[in-house]
């Protein structure tokens, strides 16, 4: 559903988009992502004018606000034309898929600019494997890992890239759990507009994952994990959630190759 | 405290019903995948069929309609055109009244639900009985269907048996097979005394001038065999070019809907019958009821829907709330786009909350046999409703957020201040987005600006 | 509403979009290789029995089956010329008495126009049926299928279906899962659907 454009640009000098969530809460995930990118890419820049991809406003139907924020984001990354790597499947999908919907009634020139911009945006795991050609993370991390594939990864190569990199880590074992494909109920503002439904979905997800007794829960999105961990904690369920980048970095550190 | 109706419905839903709906929905979803794979193990073949279904329905609607009308008429079918539900109802009553008919049997049709036909006919003194078991079960209790394919999925055997007893269909017996046999006995009498059969149409074949009905119970055959007059009503979007294209759709329909390779019965009706015990006259009513308006809009893709129900079977929200939560003829992912559209631009408030009852997970788009981009349509509906300034509960105003997110200096200054919230008694907040979050979830420690600080040092 | 106004509304609406050409496709794009495996007759028998249809290739086995179900009376469609000796074992009416005896026949037997292997469907057309109720009303129904008339694929079947005022595909006994998802066979149509392949 959120299939990225076919001809996105690649390169070994990249921009990093931290995402507003990492900016506000999950610095660990963003820091790990940058460290990993530095291992495999030549240059990683962080244009500091960046703020947010506009998804919160967009999903709630306020396309005008979304457009304002996307324009700003495009401007923030305009000092070069390098790829933009995002440690979030949902933010990436916002910028390479949904942005076009936000601008569908805008003047042709602006639509073209948005289209051009979308060709630069990649989710983190997808970029490592399919642009930088990373075949393995290597290193060591002994753990049973439950992998949560966020819904915005549907139709993208993020799930397969994430799996490929995780399975290259010595000691890491992926465990299956019930209803893996079902949404965890975060859905951004959905979580607070429909809190009952969101929590029931979240509880079902958390229980299904916990039943597989994983040592860690890994995802390419911190947003889903924010919701799942929040529910788990309230229920008194141990739920050690980590962003994929954190797992990659720890593995490489343990293996002495960080 | 403001609350979303569908969210509230979920809270109050009987856990037994919730479980039943969930199990049935998952069963159909699993069945869909199993049968598609069984029939089309070759890589990409099923996907290609879905692409064909999408493309064939993008073809020239008006030309299909013109061809269909000509063909149907040359087959002896009387073709009528209803602009809206009101006109359709009156047209149907008029046909029935002119023939002094008193007994109508109905083949399950969501289109007739959409125009609210049954109550209208009954109010006008016409005995109208649903012949599909699921529809019969809900009709006698004055309920509306909770699913477009399995209308009684929310009902338990005990309350069905009680209902049958209450309405004089049979003595109390809650064994599913006995319930079915009792319905069979009851409906036999209705079939054999029927004057008119009313159906919808799963597909209309333009070239041959025929309607296609897909059923499992044998009620469409029986209804038609016993009645003198057949009235079929269908939205004009049901028309496909010919029986050649039908192969694409028949291969997708039952597999997507119920996980069957095919429904037990598929009727092809191209006019009054030529055998004994078949209708001697036939009407086809093409319905607009907002469809041409939708066709001309950016939501035209929703008209490709073949009413299989795969999207709602797959939807994690539908599985938790059941069809009645949506308060509309069409529930689930289909309904949150179609129902507000059918209600019309003057009536957006009625279903303005529906497009928000979706976490945008995209699973529906993965199972739609016509590859309708449902999540994109849902998002466009949210835009439409926002621009019409129709308020919805729990809505968050993002104007301030947009201001902050386009003022990078302010952003960089304020984000680190979120750490102050770590010292506040957040759990005291019971209202607003924060209150709703904290009711069932904790929030981690806020660490605003830490990444930027790190990058500056380690740039 | 006037026909022309209705059609014009549709035409005007679709004019707001760029025209899309009709896709080309081959019959093979829709045909299931697994469902049509083994040739027309084998595929039909396999798919029909998978739907709990009963297949008989000799009249004796059919008679035995009907007797085992306790059948005493049957109604045979007038367009079925050969009764295969069934009249020796059962009381067969040649006309369905809707007025007085709609539930009185233990089985119905009628001629199938043809059958389709891919979906395991028996096809009844009005042109080969004297009275539709013969095939619908009795609990047990036997369709007489000429083995030479069985086509392999759904497209082949469709090409010879819609040339009669009415045709119906029947893939097995009638069924429903409307009560709590429990499968029940025998709803309004037959609870037992058999074929006699000749």
Is C91's pLDDT higher than 80?
Answer: yes
Flag whether B382 is in a domain. yes
Tell me, yes or no, whether chains A and C touch by having 3 or more C-beta pairs under 8 A. no
Q: Which residues of B touch C32 (CB under 8 A)?
A: 39-40, 251
B305 lies in the same domain as B283: no
Asked if B45 is an interface residue toward chain C (Cβ–Cβ < 8 A), one would say yes
Contact C23 B266 (CB under 8 A): no
B111 lies in the same domain as B237: yes
Flag whether B153 is in a domain. yes
Please tell us whether the domain made up of C36-197 is placed in CATH 3.40.50.10420.
yes
Pairing of the two strands C91-93 and C107-111: unpaired
What percentage of chain A reaches a pLDDT higher than 70?
100
Flag whether B423 is in a domain. yes
Is A1's pLDDT higher than 80?
Answer: no
Q: From the CA of C69, how many Å to the nearest CA of chain B? A: 18
pLDDT score recorded for residue A80? 97
Q: From the CA of B98, how many Å to the nearest CA of chain A? A: 50
Q: From the CA of C98, how many Å to the nearest CA of chain B? A: 8
Contact B7 A155 (CB under 8 A): no
pLDDT score recorded for residue A97? 95
Mean pLDDT per block of 10 residues along chain B (459 residues) reads: 88 94 95 98 97 91 96 98 98 97 96 97 96 96 93 94 96 96 96 97 98 97 96 97 97 97 97 96 98 97 97 97 96 98 95 96 97 97 95 89 96 94 88 90 94 93
pLDDT tens track for C96-117 = 999 999 999 999 999 999 999 9
Please choose, from the candidates A33, A30, A98, A28, the residue with its C-alpha nearest in 3D space to the C-alpha of residue A70: A98
Query: What mean pLDDT do residues C12-23 have?
Result: 91
Flag whether B394 is in a domain. no
pLDDT score recorded for residue B8? 96
For B75, the token pair is: 């087959």
B281 lies in the same domain as B309: no
Provide the Cα torsion C181, C182, C186, C191; round to 10°: 130
- Closest-CA residue of chain B to C17: B296
Dihedrals φ, ψ of B417, to 5°?
A: -70, -10
B118 lies in the same domain as B19: no
pLDDT score recorded for residue B242? 96
Q: Which residues of A touch B440 (CB under 8 A)?
A: 195, 199, 202-203, 230-231, 234
Separation CA B447–CA B421 (nearest Å) = 10
Residue B355 is part of a domain; what is its CATH number?
Answer: 1.10.1060
Is A145's pLDDT higher than 60?
Answer: yes
Flag whether B395 is in a domain. no
pLDDT tens track for A51-63 = 999 999 999 999 9
Contact B136, B152 (CB under 8 A): no
Q: Which residues of B touch C132 (CB under 8 A)?
A: 221, 224-225, 273, 275-278
Contact B444 A51 (CB under 8 A): no
Asked if B443 is an interface residue toward chain A (Cβ–Cβ < 8 A), one would say yes
Interface of A with B in 78-137 (CB under 8 A): 98, 101, 104
B323 lies in the same domain as B420: no
Flag whether B152 is in a domain. yes
pLDDT score recorded for residue C20? 85
pLDDT score recorded for residue B141? 95
Asked if A202 is an interface residue toward chain B (Cβ–Cβ < 8 A), one would say yes
B257 lies in the same domain as B285: yes
> pTM for the whole thing?
0.96
Q: Which residues of B touch C158 (CB under 8 A)?
A: 243-244, 246-247
Contact B156 C180 (CB under 8 A): yes
Asked if A185 is an interface residue toward chain B (Cβ–Cβ < 8 A), one would say yes
- Residue count of chain C: 198
B98 lies in the same domain as B169: yes
Which residue, chain included where needed, has tokens 């008209």?
B303
Interface test with C, best of B42, B262, B294, B301 (most C CBs within 10 A): B262
- Closest-CA residue of chain B to C12: B296
Asked if B242 is an interface residue toward chain A (Cβ–Cβ < 8 A), one would say no
Residue B168 is part of a domain; what is its CATH number?
Answer: 3.40.50.10420
Of B330, B352, B387, the last residue of a domain is: B387
Describe chain C by its helix, strand, coil percentages, rounded to 5. 30, 25, 50
B359 lies in the same domain as B329: yes
Contact B244 C159 (CB under 8 A): yes
Query: Containing domain of residue B342, as a range?
Result: 5-34+292-387
Domains delineated in chain A? 13-130 (no CATH), 140-254 (3.40.50.2300)
B274 lies in the same domain as B252: yes
pLDDT tens track for A17-35 = 999 999 999 999 999 999 9
B156 lies in the same domain as B216: yes
The tally of domains found in chain B comes to: 3
pLDDT score recorded for residue B451? 96
pLDDT score recorded for residue B392? 87
Interface test with A, best of B359, B396, B417 (most A CBs within 10 A): B359
Flag whether B392 is in a domain. no
pLDDT score recorded for residue C153? 98
B197 lies in the same domain as B74: yes
Beta-carbon pairs below 8 A across chains B and C = 260
Flag whether B396 is in a domain. no
Is C76's pLDDT higher than 80?
Answer: yes
Contact C155 B296 (CB under 8 A): no
Q: Which residues of B touch C154 (CB under 8 A)?
A: 247, 250-251
- Closest-CA residue of chain C to B23: C181
SS (H, E, C) chain B: CCCCHHHHHHHHCCHHHHHHHHHHHHHHHHHHHHHHHHHCCCCCHHHHHHHHHHHHCCCCHHHHHHHHHHHHHHCCEEEEEECCHHHHHHHHHHHHHHCCCCEEEECCCHHHHHCCHHHHHHHCCCEEEECCHHHHHHHHCCCCCCCCCCCCCCCCHHHHHHHHHHCCCCCCCCCHHHHHHHHHHHHHHHHHCCCEEEECCCEEECCCCEEEEEECCCHHHHHHHHCCEEEEEEEHHHEECCHHHHHHHHHHHHHHHHCCCCCCEEEEECCCCCCECCCCEEEEEEECCCHHHHHCCCCHHHHHCCCCCHHHHHCHHHHHHCHHHHCCCCCHHHHHHHHHHHHCHHHHHHHCCHHHCCCCCCHHHHHCCCCCCHHHHHHHHHHHHHHCCCCCCCCCCCHHHHHHHCCHHHHHHHHHHHHHHHHCCHHHCCCHHHHHHHHHCCCCCCCCCHHHHHHHHCC
Asked if B85 is an interface residue toward chain C (Cβ–Cβ < 8 A), one would say no
Of B339, B356, B387, the last residue of a domain is: B387
- Closest-CA residue of chain B to C165: B270
pLDDT score recorded for residue B428? 87
């Amino acid at each position: 559903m959120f299939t990225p454009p076919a001809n996105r640009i690649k390169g070994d000098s990249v921009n990093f988009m931290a995402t507003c969530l990492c900016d506000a809460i999950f610095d660990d995930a963003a820091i790990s992502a940058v460290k990993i990118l530095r291992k495999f890419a030549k240059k990683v820049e962080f244009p500091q004018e960046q703020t947010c991809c506009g998804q919160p406003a967009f999903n709630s139907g306020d396309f005008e606000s979304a457009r304002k924020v996307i324009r700003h984001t495009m401007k923030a990354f305009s000092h070069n034309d390098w790829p933009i790597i995002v440690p979030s499947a949902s933010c990436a999908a916002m910028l390479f898929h949904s942005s076009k919907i936000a601008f569908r009634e805008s003047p042709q020139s602006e639509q073209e600019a948005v289209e051009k911009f979308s060709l630069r945006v990649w989710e983190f795991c997808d970029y490592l494997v399919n642009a930088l050609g990373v075949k393995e993370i290597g290193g060591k991390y002994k753990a049973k890992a439950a992998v949560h594939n966020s819904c915005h990864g549907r139709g993208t190569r993020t799930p397969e890239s994430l799996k490929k990199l995780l399975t290259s880590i010595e000691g890491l074992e992926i465990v299956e759990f019930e209803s893996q494909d079902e949404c965890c109920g975060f859905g951004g503002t959905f979580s607070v507009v429909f809190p009952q439904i969101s929590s029931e979905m979240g509880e079902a997800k958390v229980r299904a994952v916990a039943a597989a007794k994983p040592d860690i829960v890994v995802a390419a999105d911190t947003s889903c994990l924010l919701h799942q961990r929040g529910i788990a904690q309230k229920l008194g369920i141990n739920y050690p959630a980590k962003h994929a980048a954190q797992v990659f970095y720890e593995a490489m550190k343990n293996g002495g190759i960080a | 405290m403001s609350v979303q109706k569908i969210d509230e419905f979920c809270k109050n839903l009987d856990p037994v019903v919730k479980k039943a709906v969930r199990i049935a929905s998952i069963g159909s979803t699993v069945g869909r995948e199993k049968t598609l794979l069984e029939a089309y193990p070759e890589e990409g073949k099923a996907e290609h069929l879905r692409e064909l279904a999408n493309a064939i329905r993008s073809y020239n609607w008006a030309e299909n309609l013109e061809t269909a009308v000509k063909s149907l008429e040359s087959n002896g079918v009387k073709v009528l055109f209803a602009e809206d539900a009101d006109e359709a109802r009156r047209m149907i009553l008029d046909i029935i009244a002119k023939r002094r008919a008193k007994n109508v049997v109905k083949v399950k049709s969501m289109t007739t639900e959409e125009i609210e036909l049954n109550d209208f006919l009954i109010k006008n003194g016409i005995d109208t009985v649903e012949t599909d078991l699921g529809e019969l079960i809900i009709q006698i209790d004055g309920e509306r269907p909770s699913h477009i394919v399995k209308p009684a999925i929310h009902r338990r055997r005990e309350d069905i048996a009680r209902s049958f007893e209450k309405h004089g269909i049979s003595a109390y017996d809650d064994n599913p097979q006995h319930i079915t046999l009792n319905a069979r006995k009851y409906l036999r009498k209705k079939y054999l005394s029927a004057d008119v059969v009313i159906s919808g149409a799963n597909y209309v074949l333009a070239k041959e001038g025929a309607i296609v009905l897909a059923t499992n119970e044998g009620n469409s055959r029986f209804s038609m065999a016993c009645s003198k007059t057949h009235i079929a009503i269908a939205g004009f979007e049901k028309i496909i070019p010919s029986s050649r294209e039908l192969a694409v759709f028949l291969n997708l329909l039952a597999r997507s809907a119920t996980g069957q390779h095919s429904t037990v019965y598929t009727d092809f009706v191209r006019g009054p019958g030529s055998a004994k015990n078949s209708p001697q006259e036939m009407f086809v009513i093409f319905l607009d009821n907002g469809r041409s308006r939708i066709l001309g809009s950016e939501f035209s893709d929703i008209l490709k829907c073949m009413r299989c129900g795969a999207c709602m079977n797959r939807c994690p929200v539908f599985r938790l709330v059941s069809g009645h939560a949506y308060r509309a003829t069409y529930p689930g992912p289909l309904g949150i786009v179609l129902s507000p559209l059918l209600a019309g631009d003057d009536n957006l408030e009625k279903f303005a909350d529906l497009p928000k009852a979706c976490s945008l997970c995209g699973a529906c788009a993965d199972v739609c046999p016509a590859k309708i981009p449902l999540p994109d349509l849902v998002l466009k509906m949210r835009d439409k409703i926002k621009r019409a300034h129709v308020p919805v509960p729990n809505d968050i105003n993002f104007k301030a957020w947009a201001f902050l997110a386009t003022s990078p200096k302010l952003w960089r200054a304020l984000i680190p201040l979120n750490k102050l919230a770590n010292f506040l008694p957040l759990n005291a907040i019971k209202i607003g987005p924060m209150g709703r979050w904290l009711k069932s979830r904790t929030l981690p420690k806020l660490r605003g600006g830490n990444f930027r600080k790190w990058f500056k040092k380690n740039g | 509403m006037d026909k022309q106004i209705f059609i014009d509304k549709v035409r005007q609406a679709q004019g707001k979009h760029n025209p899309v050409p009709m896709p080309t496709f081959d019959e093979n794009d829709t045909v299931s290789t697994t469902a049509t495996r083994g040739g027309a007759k084998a595929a039909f028998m396999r798919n029909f029995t998978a739907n709990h249809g009963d297949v008989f290739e000799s009249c004796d086995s059919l008679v035995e089956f009907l007797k085992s179900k306790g059948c005493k009376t049957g109604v045979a469609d007038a367009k079925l010329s050969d009764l295969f000796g069934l009249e020796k074992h059962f009381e067969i009416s040649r006309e369905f008495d809707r007025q007085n005896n709609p539930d009185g026949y233990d089985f119905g037997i009628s001629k199938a126009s043809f059958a389709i292997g891919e979906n395991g469907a028996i096809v009844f057309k009005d042109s080969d049926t004297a009275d539709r109720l013969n095939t619908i009303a009795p609990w047990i129904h036997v369709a007489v299928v000429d083995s030479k008339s069985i086509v392999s694929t759904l497209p082949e079947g469709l090409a010879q279906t819609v040339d009669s005022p009415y045709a119906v595909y029947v893939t097995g006994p009638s069924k429903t899962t409307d009560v709590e998802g429990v499968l029940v066979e025998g709803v309004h149509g037959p609870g037992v659907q058999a074929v006699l392949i000749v």
